[in-house]
Structure 1
């Protein structure tokens, strides 16, 4: 139970709120889904590769940079596999690179760990070559 007396949202519900906030460009709502000590890892080879910490660190180093370099960057979440605090989402990224005008439509898997109603860990898996090709 939460302090409001209502049951805590399921891990999948928390992850879904993160995708909805991202799609709406609502970085404040997105940060509200992240734990203060979140570890957010973008895959090696991805243009933003690395691990980012804190909700503000994640949005400034990932979402804001994607928005600056790509038009209509969207993660389309389609399949959720939940096991306790682990949520794996199969999705796809679509966007158009602002510098080249090239579009991407690439499959992605995201692994989230949710504790206490907040995302504590994120790891991205995607075909980084397709993303980089659109940037060249």
Structure 2
């Protein structure tokens, strides 16, 4: 197993989460999340709310994104790390299944990593761009 795969560094834990998400590997994604994780999707985002537990996060966020969008990917571009805090500047790309409209929107994600697990996540995104792609 590679050093990256077992690293407990906060940025590496977060990176494994992005890689698992992009691959559609929900089991690997859940393995990056603490049992009491708090995962907050921004107000105005179609899945707005705070979800708890690894199963709650994947069922209410990742699986629902897969139902509504083709090729949903969070492209993690830039990492800013301060201790247990990891801020990732990224972008979402996808194609809405209902409208056929694409998105390519910039986002920021704030993660808190403790004990090699993500304990908190907060999303910042231009929700209007996402909703526009969902409107006929």
TM-score class, shorter-chain normalisation, is: over 0.9
Matches within 5 A, 1:23-38: 23-38=22-37
Question: Which residue number in structure 1 is paired with residue 100 of structure 2?
Answer: 101
Question: Which residue number in structure 1 is paired with residue 3 of structure 2?
Answer: none
Unpaired segments of 5 or more residues in structure 1?
A: 1-6
Moved over 2 A (4+): none
Checking the alignment, whether the CA contact within 8 Å between 2:32 and 2:118 is kept in structure 1 is yes
Query: How far off its partner does 1:9 sit?
Result: 1.5
* SS, match of residue 15 in structure 2: helix
Query: How far off its partner does 1:113 sit?
Result: 0.1
Task: Map Cα deviations across residues 85-109 of structure 1 (whole Å, 9 max, x no partner).
Answer: 0000000000000000000000000
Between the two proteins, the alignment pairs up a number of residues equal to 130
Query: How far off its partner does 1:8 sit?
Result: 5.2
Matches within 5 A, 1:53-72: 53-72=52-71
**Structure 1 vs Structure 2 CA RMSD:** 0.9
Checking the alignment, whether the CA contact within 8 Å between 2:7 and 2:13 is kept in structure 1 is no
* SS, match of residue 100 in structure 2: coil
TM-score between the two structures when normalised by the length of structure 1: 0.94
Query: How far off its partner does 1:132 sit?
Result: 0.2
